[in-house]
Structure 1
Amino acid sequence: MLYPTITEAQRMERLTSRTGRIRMVLDTDTFNEIDDQFAVVYALQSPERLQVEAFYAAPFFNDLSTGPKDGMEKSYHELHKILKLMGRTDIPIYKGSDAYLPGSEAPVESEAARNLVERAMASSPEDPLYVVAIGAITNVASAILMEPRIIANIVIVWLGGHALHWHNTQEFNLEQDIPAARIILDSGVPLVLIPCMGVASHLKTTLSEMRDFVKESGVIGEYLYETYRQVHPDHYAYSRVIWDISTIAYLVNERSTPSVLLPSPIVSEEARWSQDPSRHLIRYVTYIDRDGVFRDLFQKLSKGAN
């Protein structure tokens, strides 16, 4: 597959901090875990920085689904549930891929992929669309295959894989659809990569924090609290990672998610990283200020309840 070429200077310009509001879409396997719900709410509670234009339901396959299509459908309904609880009827939700990519050149057609192409083509390099992905990146890779020119008009922020120093990158979002991950890493699209283990894994919280700082934050706060409470039978000395809010934190306040520029890594079929210094650059988040991120989230939930 030949992708449109953007220069390294153009790519670096896209990966430089922007002021003002950012236009974004959120691609999420919302029913897969409890962290997607927090990311959805965090994005919607950050209107000073984020203009959320659409939600895309991503496929997933684990104990909570019978296959990628079922996972996508459940995520689609979970998105509707969250927006209804928040009284939001202004943001469209699109169904995504019902299967993973069959190879490196065949997209999976879906409402989400088609809508992403439309929005990206209506954008520009000067005002790019930020594509925030917190699941298997099938929808986004499909959109690139359907219309490679969107590479010039988007910036992808993806929670995928583990840290480059980790012994493997057998992480749920990446490992579900390695062909899709390779498209994102190989195409030259401006990419902010946030690793799971070693970086986003700092974002742990507890039931006590949920009770003190989330539960009383209106209907959606009660929902997030109950979602957290029910996910584990014993909360004594227990904490849980809310991985997906890392992507929203990066967009809302980059100081809480310091990053570097480095060559886009290569992922093997066995989900292991390798590096080639001649490859194009991406932005790679190296650390997350856990306290700063949760402080911002809790404060925004509290304001939303007032």
Structure 2
Amino acid sequence: MTISFPALSEQKLLERLAHPQRKVRMVLDTDTYNEIDDQFAVIYALKSTESVSVEAFYAAPFYNDLSSGPKDGMEKSYDELLKIRSIMPEMADIPVYRGSEDYLQGPFTPQESDAARNLVERAMASSDEDPLYVVAIGAITNVASAILMEPRIIEKIVVVWLGGHALHWRDAREFNLAQDLHASRTVLNSGVPLVLIPCAGVASHLMTTLSEVKDYVRDQGPVGQYLYETFLNCSPEHFGYSRVIWDISTIAYLNNPDWMPSTLVHSPILSEDFRWSVDHSRHFIRYVHFAHRDSVFKDLFRKLGE
């Protein structure tokens, strides 16, 4: 079995890969319970009303020490999104959808879920002049499933994904990307307009400490207290300790491209042993290659105080 993906003209693809320079409609696909950075990203997106309008949240699967399997990880992420909604009035009317209960079992077999179906419906209702931005900060299963269910959404969306490591890194074996090889390859190979933000080497610059969170986050109402306690509880020892808040990189890119400088590259090939290789005949993606840490955190802290 194979699936034929629509091919955007190079002109249309490059238009979609340019920074929008305007407020965009977006959905956020997140494994919210997996780490502490998703919570920061959810709240950062909701506070960035000058740049984005969040239309829906999708719970993504994950499997590590915090879950008993992908389904359990997705359910815990769904519950965490509801927890955030209970303390954020800005989130009250935004729907939250359960995502995939497992990873893709093959390159052409989507995982049915409310999230994937909603993404198809929402994307297909978008106009060519107003594509839907799909911001993904976990395993890309829900997004890949939607593309496999309805390949025409490639013409209607722009994906902004935190996944893999920098192209010069020794390998691409990063948690988001490595959980679902088939889904990661689908997104990289399909020709969907993609902004790729690597973890090691790029988003890894976005580090903060408990002292900084205490000074600039803790006293900003229930949301600030929630983020502070989340950060406090992420480690038994905070002496000389810092934590990367990876996921805010995606929202920072939409807020200001100067904070997350990027370039056009040919979509890399992802091998079965999670290594990058280059084929200059492949379509372009936008590749973020640095993160200006101070600018991003200044923006986040300022918005939490508003």
Give the TM-score range, shorter chain: over 0.9
Cα drift, residue 47 of structure 1: 0.8
Take 1:197 and 1:265, find their aligned partners in 2: how far apart are those partners?
16
Residue of structure 2 in register with 1:51 after alignment: 53
Q: Pairwise mapping of residues 257-296 of structure 1 onto structure 2 (< 5 A)?
A: 257-296=260-299
Give the one of 102, 108, 118 matched to 2:111: 108
Q: Is the 8 A contact 1:125 1:154 kept in 2?
A: no
- Secondary structure in 2 aligned to 1:255? coil
Is 1:86 matched up with 2:94? no
Residue of structure 2 in register with 1:122 after alignment: 125
Residue of structure 2 in register with 1:222 after alignment: 225
Equivalent AA in structure 2 for residue 79 of structure 1: L
Equivalent AA in structure 1 for residue 183 of structure 2: A
- Secondary structure in 2 aligned to 1:83? helix
Residue of structure 2 in register with 1:67 after alignment: 69
Q: Deviations over 1:169-226 (max 9, x none)?
A: 1100000001000010000000000000000000000001000000001100000000
Take 2:128 and 2:174, find their aligned partners in 1: how far apart are those partners?
31
Cα drift, residue 144 of structure 1: 0.3
Aligned length: 303
Unaligned runs of 5+ in 1: none
Take 2:220 and 2:65, find their aligned partners in 1: how far apart are those partners?
30
Cα drift, residue 17 of structure 1: 2.1
Is 1:153 matched up with 2:162? no
Residue of structure 2 in register with 1:35 after alignment: 37
Cα drift, residue 89 of structure 1: 1.4
Equivalent AA in structure 2 for residue 298 of structure 1: F
- Secondary structure in 2 aligned to 1:256? coil
Q: Pairwise mapping of residues 117-266 of structure 1 onto structure 2 (< 5 A)?
A: 117-266=120-269
Cα drift, residue 262 of structure 1: 0.5
Q: Is the 8 A contact 1:124 1:152 kept in 2?
A: no
Cα drift, residue 240 of structure 1: 0.5
Cα drift, residue 137 of structure 1: 0.2
Query: With structure 2 as the length reference, what TM-score do the two structures score?
Result: 0.98
Q: Deviations over 1:73-93 (max 9, x none)?
A: 000000000011112311000
Equivalent AA in structure 2 for residue 21 of structure 1: K
Cα drift, residue 279 of structure 1: 0.5
Cα drift, residue 5 of structure 1: 1.2
- Secondary structure in 2 aligned to 1:31? coil
- Secondary structure in 2 aligned to 1:248? helix
Equivalent AA in structure 2 for residue 210 of structure 1: V
Residue of structure 2 in register with 1:25 after alignment: 27
Cα drift, residue 264 of structure 1: 0.1
Cα drift, residue 125 of structure 1: 2.1
Take 1:263 and 1:34, find their aligned partners in 2: how far apart are those partners?
32
Residue of structure 2 in register with 1:8 after alignment: 10
Query: With structure 1 as the length reference, what TM-score do the two structures score?
Result: 0.98
Cα drift, residue 124 of structure 1: 2.0
Percent identity over the alignment? Answer: 67
Take 1:5 and 1:259, find their aligned partners in 2: how far apart are those partners?
23
Cα drift, residue 19 of structure 1: 3.0
Q: Deviations over 1:243-273 (max 9, x none)?
A: 0000000001111000000000011111111
The RMSD of aligned alpha carbons is 0.6
Take 2:244 and 2:20, find their aligned partners in 1: how far apart are those partners?
28
- Secondary structure in 1 aligned to 2:74? helix
Take 2:51 and 2:272, find their aligned partners in 1: how far apart are those partners?
38
Take 2:242 and 2:7, find their aligned partners in 1: how far apart are those partners?
44
- Secondary structure in 1 aligned to 2:225? helix
Q: Deviations over 1:27-75 (max 9, x none)?
A: 0000000000000000000111110000000000000000000000000
Take 1:90 and 1:50, find their aligned partners in 2: how far apart are those partners?
16
Take 1:4 and 1:124, find their aligned partners in 2: how far apart are those partners?
16
